[in-house]
Amino acid sequence: MRESELLEHIYARTAGLGRTHPDVIVGPGDDAAIVRTPAGDLLALGVDQLVEGRHFTAQTPPELVARKALARSLSDLAAMGADPCWALATCAVPPTCQHARELADAIHHWGERFACPVVGGDLSATSGPLVLTTTTIGRTSRPVTRAGVRPDDLICITGPVGDSLATGHHLTFTPRLRESREMVDRLGSDLHAMIDVSDGLVQDARRLAQASGVRIEIELERVPLRTPTRPAPRAICDGEDYELLFAIQPDRAQEALGTVIGRATAGEPTCAVLDAQGKELTLPTGGYDHDLGAQE
């Protein structure tokens, strides 16, 4: 089963969650959940995990493992237009791990650095690889979801994509919290939708399109690349970029903190990539989609 197939199953199963639980404003299917507290505040809840051998290697310094674990979850909060407040961390530690104390120190260090202190968590032993999970909680007054893209919106991205693993960017990126806050404040309701680019620009643009019911057209030549020598059709499918892809009102282009790379149109909800002549390209891959094993 592919990750996308299991996610579709989860989204279908929880589609009515907001009707049975009115305090759930945004449930599964976005970068983070949004819930309303009894006092009326809106909280954003994000969670992410790192698995040794998939998201980092046994040789990756504990400092960078901890940094990535927190930064990934905080990138999800940024995509919702939320400001981080607190974090929780859990870790399944194998007997071969020689740096558990250093990892614990590092996760607390990065919590302070990102202004999102780690206030609790859990530990467990495992015979498998090391797994580090972080949950982040933030506040927001106006959540930005994936579902607000409108025909004629401009599609923008906060920074370059591609070659994240080869360059080490996936371990050292800074979540776009500042950019998110600035755009929420500056653009207000003209910031229509946003998503964290973690599985490749094309894959996540497709998710934005499907959530909004529009067609998104990306102009390949306008996409900023992290490594100019990386073939652009591959760079836009690489993944682990942790930039924000967002849709704005067409007349606000000068105020967007990013590069305009395309436009939304009415049509089948998907993402099309166009060459310089406006012809739709066939890509080598559609982005990252975990293989979760055989379906029962």
Q: 3-class DSSP state for residue 108?
A: helix
- 18-22, 41-45, 150-154 — which is least confidently predicted? 18-22
Which pLDDT does position 17 carry in this prediction? Answer: 75
What is the enclosing helix (H) or strand (E) of 142? none
Computed over every residue of the chain, the mean pLDDT equals 92
Mean pLDDT of 15-32: 84
pLDDT digit string, tens, across residues 209-261: 999 999 999 999 999 999 999 999 999 999 999 999 999 999 999 999 999 99
Which pLDDT does position 236 carry in this prediction? Answer: 96
The CA–CA distances, whole Å, from 226 to 155, 167, 170, 222, 240 equal 19, 9, 12, 13, 12
Mean pLDDT of 146-171: 97
Q: 3-class DSSP state for residue 214?
A: coil
Sign of CA dihedral 184, 39, 110, 3: negative
Q: 0.75 exceeded by the pTM?
A: yes
Which pLDDT does position 2 carry in this prediction? Answer: 64
Please return the burial class of 79, using the count of CB atoms within 10 Å of its CB with bins 0-12, 13-18 and 19+.
buried
CA–CA gap between residue 132 and residue 142 (Å, rounded): 30
pLDDT at 130 over 80: yes
pLDDT at 294 over 50: no
The CA–CA distances, whole Å, from 178 to 163, 206, 258, 288 equal 24, 25, 12, 26
Mean pLDDT of 183-189: 96
**Ordered domains of the chain (ranges, CATH):** 31-140 (3.30.1330.10), 154-274 (3.90.650.10)
Which pLDDT does position 90 carry in this prediction? Answer: 98
Which one-letter DSSP state was computed for residue 63?
A: H
